Amino acid sequence: MSSMAERAERAGIPVHTFDLENDQRFGVDPFAVWDEAASVAPLFYSPAGRGFLVAADYDTVKTVLQNPRMWSNLPSTITYTKEDVEMDVPPITMDPPQHTAYRKALIPLFSPRAVAPLEPRIREIAHQLCDEIEEAGECDVMRDFAGRLPAQFFLEWLGLAEGDVRRMYQLAQAATFDFPTQEQRTAIEAEINGIVGASITARRAEPADDLATAFTHLRVDGEPVEEGLLVGMATLAFIAGQETTSTQFGWMLWHLGRVEEDRRLLQERPEVIPDAIEELMRVYNTGGPAGRVAAADGELNGYPVRAGDRLFLARCGADRQTDRQVQLLRTPNRHSAFGLGIHRCLGSHVARIEMRIGLEVWQERFPDYRVPADFVPQFRWGSFMQQLVSLPVELSPATVA
Amino acid sequence: MNSTEDFRTAALRYAVDTALCAGHGRCYSLDPDHFDSDDVGYAVVLDRAESASRRAAMEDVVAACPEGAISIVEGPAGS
Ligand code: HEM
Ligand code: SF4
């Protein structure tokens, strides 16, 4: 059996070291690294980690994600790491037909109609956070707003409002960034499972109108869900609901705090905020695990695939390749920031609402905010996504007379 | 009727490939006159035909679907 590297060479698939774990440039200018990868080829081989293919243009990403029988989520190994680390976050870590049944049970909980009523509460939390910022008179957007709005809202929806919000946010962050070994990964997941499991148990005794209670009613093919799986799904919601949304939202405030023209456009025409969100997700595409393993022999862009081949989806690079310029009113616009195919982000509708309300409230409260010109950003990296470590802003810069 | 007339009077409708639709909801956000969401978020095409002069605008919606699930089908006017 020939190795992935040998087959890549024979098929004329380029080799390019794309190293999410070790490439220090991710801490300085992450998008340059994604752009570099996307400019190599639609499909290339990276010798980093244990070796993996990289799908780096939209069509290749789409081909892979729309063919889950060929490109499986089992085993759920993180494809780009040196260590073989497995995740346990259903329903991402499932394949059809099991995935189909679980997805069908979960999708009503997160549909556009189910999440629309959450809007007023999200707006209320956004205003509370802005009140606190106003009172403090200074603000680090990651610490005080982008990093708090999704956590505050989501933990409440999961029945965890009473818990230690900062610790829970740290846990979601750890699950996204700090897992070089299987032991660490398992320990982080176990701690989160404990927290969300306790909430589900509490809601069984005392139901409320929230997501935790909806989980207790979940039926798959008419049967109650085995407790371990149920808790695993709530754990994925815990991680994505806080960390991914915060990271993505932080990038939006980063962009608008630096590009005056775009900030003004959204103030003058708040009705185009939803379009702006799509464009900012495309250019600062950030979230969601992105690995698949070949379930069978086959072919991809001329490369002879063998069962067991690992693949990473460079969705960020692929989406940016459409056009690296930000045009908030881009039409038509499409991106893969919420994934594609059967694992399309279940939380996309609620995440869109959170980001829209977050932007609406933020620009209403701090219309003249900006990122200081001398600010040097640092990024948390080492995972499939990169996050602004901090984002200090001037809330109302003194106007020059 | 010659083919030029045929083209001009043809009515255009959207069609969604339900096997590909993953419920991103871009279509019914961008063009609520032609799309709705079902109970859980997948696209439903509303039965409303457009004249051929609207093709370019319709193609923007087609191109905005991340899954490539939307197409435009042509039928005789009034069908
Ligand atoms: C802006 C914020 C978010 C982004 C960018 C994002 C991104 C993604 C991506 C790219 C995937 C697909 C992963 C893959 O195909 O391997 C995904 C899946 C998923 N996301 Fe999100 N997500 C966000 C927010 C949320 C929220 C708020 C929730 C809350 C429940 C959530 C829950 C999920 C779930 C359950 C899946 C798995 C769906 C399945 O396997 O069928 N996400 N997300
Ligand atoms: S945009 Fe495409 S995938 Fe999304 S709901 Fe409409 S048809 Fe379905």
SS3 per residue for chain A: CCCHHHHHHHHCCCECCCCCCCCHHHHCCHHHHHHHHHHHCCEEEECCCCCEEEECCHHHHHHHHCCCCCEECCCCECCCCCCCCECCCCCCCCCCCHHHHHHHHHHHHHCHHHHHHHHHHHHHHHHHHHHHHHHHCCEEHHHHHHCCHHHHHHHHHCCCCCCCHHHHHHHHHHHHHCCCCHHHHHHHHHHHHHHHHHHHHHHHHCCCCCHHHHHHCCEECCEECCHHHHHHHHHHHHHHHHHHHHHHHHHHHHHHHHCHHHHHHHHHCHHHHHHHHHHHHHHCCCCCCCEEEECCCEEECCEEECCCCEEEECHHHHHHHHCCCCCCCCCCCCCCCCCCHHHCCCCHHHHHHHHHHHHHHHHHHCCCCECCCCCCCCEECCCCCCEECCCEEECCCCCCC
B-interface mutation test, from A107, A336, A345, A346, most B Cβ less than 10 A away? A107
B32 touches chain A (CB under 8 A): no
Three-state SS for B52? helix
Task: Mention every residue, 6+ apart, whose C-beta is less than 8 A from residue A55.
Answer: A42, A43, A61, A63, A64, A300, A311, A312, A313, A314, A318
* CATH code matching the domain that covers A4-399, chosen among 3.90.550.10, 1.10.287.3610, 1.10.630.10, 3.40.50.460: 1.10.630.10
Name residue B52's amino acid: A
Q: Which residue has the tokens 């990868």?
A: A37
State the DSSP H helix or E strand holding residue B16, giving kind and residue range, or none if neither.
Answer: strand B11-16
| pLDDT by position in tens, chain A (length 401) | 689 999 999 999 999 999 999 999 999 999 999 999 999 999 999 999 999 999 999 999 999 999 999 999 998 888 988 888 888 889 999 999 999 999 999 999 999 999 999 999 999 999 999 999 999 999 999 999 999 999 999 999 999 988 888 889 889 988 888 777 888 889 999 999 999 999 999 999 999 999 999 999 999 999 999 999 999 999 999 998 888 999 999 999 999 999 999 999 999 999 999 999 999 999 999 876 789 999 999 999 999 999 999 999 999 999 999 999 999 999 999 999 999 999 999 999 999 999 999 999 999 999 999 999 999 999 998 888 899 999 999 998 765 44
- Which residue, A287, A346, A285, A290, is CA-closest to A64? A290
Residue A72: what pLDDT? 96
Please tell me the predicted confidence (pLDDT) of residue B79.
47
pLDDT computed for residue A400 by the predictor: 45
Q: Which ligand is nearest to the CA of B30?
A: 2
Maximum Cα–Cα distance across chain B? 45
3-state secondary structure of B7: helix
CA A317 – CA A314 distance, rounded (Å): 6
pTM of the shown model:
0.94
Q: Do B65 and A66 touch (CB under 8 A)?
A: no
Give me the interface pTM, i.e. the ipTM.
Answer: 0.90
What pLDDT, on the 0 to 100 scale, is given for residue B78?
56
Q: Count how many pairs of residues, chain A against chain B, have C-beta atoms within 8 Å.
A: 55
CA-nearest residue, atom 8 of ligand 2: B21
Tell me how far the alpha carbon of residue A14 lies from the centroid of ligand 1, in angstroms: 30
Do B37 and A332 count as a contact with CB atoms less than 8 A apart?
no
Ligand 2 atom index nearest CA of B41? 5
Q: Higher-confidence residue: B27 or A385?
A: B27
> Nearest C-alpha to atom 4 of ligand 2 is from which residue?
B24
Query: Is residue B31 lining ligand 2, measured as CB closer than 6 Å?
Result: no
Domain ranges of chain A: 4-399
Please give the domain boundaries of chain B with CATH numbers for all domains: 3-76 (3.30.70.20)
| C-alpha span between A388 and A386 (Å, rounded) | 7
Pocket test for ligand 1, best of A196, A345, A346 (most atoms within 8 A of CB): A345
